[in-house]
Every structure is written in C-alpha cells, then in structure tokens.
Amino acid sequence: MYTRSRVVGSGLGANQPSRSSWDPSARRQELGQLPGQRQGMEAASKDPSRESLGNREQRLVHTDTYTLIAPNESRRSQIQRIAKKELEDLEKWKEQNRAKPINLMPRRLGGSQSEAEVRQKQQHQLMQSKYQKKLKREESVRIKKEAEEAEIQKMKAIQREKSNKLEEKKRLEENLRRETFRDHQQYKTAEFLSQLQTELPNRSTYESTLYEPQSSTWKLPVLPRHNSCARSKAYKDLLKEEENRKLQKMKEEQHRKELYSFSFKSLVQFALVFVDGV
C-alpha cells in the first residue's frame, strides 16, 4: 500500500498558482478529459465541503515523472472489515463441521475362528490356487491352439477355393480346345472328302492310262521311240508337276495350321478373360 506523503515548502496557501499553468503534461491531461469529468471537477471545485471530503479521503502527489495516488482510507477499512468478517465465518463453519470422534465397541481380532482353522483354510486356498493356475494355463493353451487351428482352416479354405477356380479354368480351357479341335476336324474331313470327290474322276482316267489290264506294274506313258529327249522331258515335267502339287498342298496345310493356332489362341484368351470376370 502506498503511504500518504506531503510536499513541504513555502507558498502552499490559497494564493498557490494552478499546476496547469506551469506543467505542460497537466495541461494536456486537463484538455484530454471528457466533458462529464470536467463538469464533475467544476462541481467539486464549487462545493467546498465536497472538496474537503475528497482531499481528506484521497490525495495526489505529483512529481516530475509520476503521480502517486494515496489509498482511500474509508474503502480500505471497509475491505478489512469484510475480510475479517469472512474469516470469522470460516472459523465458525470449520468448528461446526469438525469431524466427530468414532466410537466402536471393542471386540476380539481374528473373528470366531481359531488359529488352526485359519491355517488349514490358508493351506486349502494355497492348494486350490495351484490347481487354478494350472487350469488357467491349460485354458490359455487350449484357446491359443483353437485360434491357430481356426487360422489354418481359414487358409485351407482360401487355398481350396483357389484350386477349385484353377480346376474350373482348366476344365473350360479343355472343353474349348476340344470344341475347337472338333470343328477343325470336321472342317478338314469335309475338305478332304470334297477334294477326294473332285480328284476321283481324274485319278480313274490317269490310272487307266498308266495301267494295262494284263499287267499290275506301273508304267510310264508310251512315247515315240524315235524321240528319247522328248520322253525324258515329259518324265521331268511329270515329276515337277507332282512336286509342285505336293508343295502347294504343304503350303495350304501350313496355312491351315497357322489359322487354327491363331483361332485357338484367341479362343483361349477369351475363355481366360471370361473366367477371370466370373
């Protein structure tokens, strides 16, 4: 708390000049006051009793750097009275709510059982605790084994499902391959029969020219005896024609095989995509 101090010096009477006339900071403070504050100060200056009461309750000590506000004695004494009253009320409440002493009837410790009975009971509990620990340990092992078995069965089910899907995929591929092979076989059979039917008349005429009714041996066509060069040329042309026919047949067969392999691969890919989608 600040203590009340007084400025001692000459010229502290009624003819003392105002502070705002020689202190510019006080002048600015006075100019910066609100209109209501100014009216209150003017009313206080006009009322001498009020001014004396205010000077008696609170005084300001001004210096060059700060302003010291003296404490309000009336408010201070009021606060002290309130605090003292509250402390007295607190002490009264503590006295009223003090814990009362506990009064119990004296009795013998240990209950109504004898020492031998208590020790026998403790021994029995100890034996039971051993068995209980053993049973608890066995139960934990059993639960752990059941969890492991369930996990193994789950993994087996997943692998079984995968194997079933793989078998189904292989079965579909085999069925598709058989269908493709059957279609190809039917196509080749029909082509062979049609080719055989077209070549059958030519073959019969060719055999009638090559074979004689009296002999069963194969003979070349009869050529003029006087032209051996023409005969050899005809033989070479015949061999060349046969080779060309065989070569053309091999090319057609190779082309059919490539077409068949391409169609089979496309069908297998389609079946794989279909199985994966399913």
Q: pLDDT-based confidence at 274, cuts 50/70/90? A: low
Mean pLDDT of 206-224: 47
Q: Provide φ and ψ at 249, rounded to 5°.
A: -65, -40
pLDDT at 149 over 80: yes
Q: What is the largest CA-CA distance in the chain?
A: 181
CA distances from 276 to 84, 265, 266 (A): 91, 16, 15
pLDDT in tens, 48-87: 454 444 454 456 677 778 788 888 889 999 999 999 999 9
More confident residue, 30 or 104: 104
Determine the pLDDT at residue 43.
47
Q: pLDDT-based confidence at 89, cuts 50/70/90? A: very high
More confident residue, 278 or 103: 103
More confident residue, 139 or 256: 139
Mean pLDDT of 211-222: 46
CA distances from 174 to 53, 186, 214, 271, 272 (A): 119, 18, 55, 10, 12
pLDDT at 143 over 70: yes
pTM as predicted: 0.27
AA identity, residue 162: K
More confident residue, 51 or 180: 180
Report how far residue 225's alpha carbon sits from residue 205's, in angstroms, rounded to the nearest whole number: 24
Mean pLDDT of 116-123: 88
Q: pLDDT-based confidence at 1, cuts 50/70/90? A: very low
CA distances from 159 to 152, 153, 156, 165, 171 (A): 11, 10, 5, 10, 18
AA identity, residue 18: S
Cβ(230)–Cβ(224) below 8 Å: yes
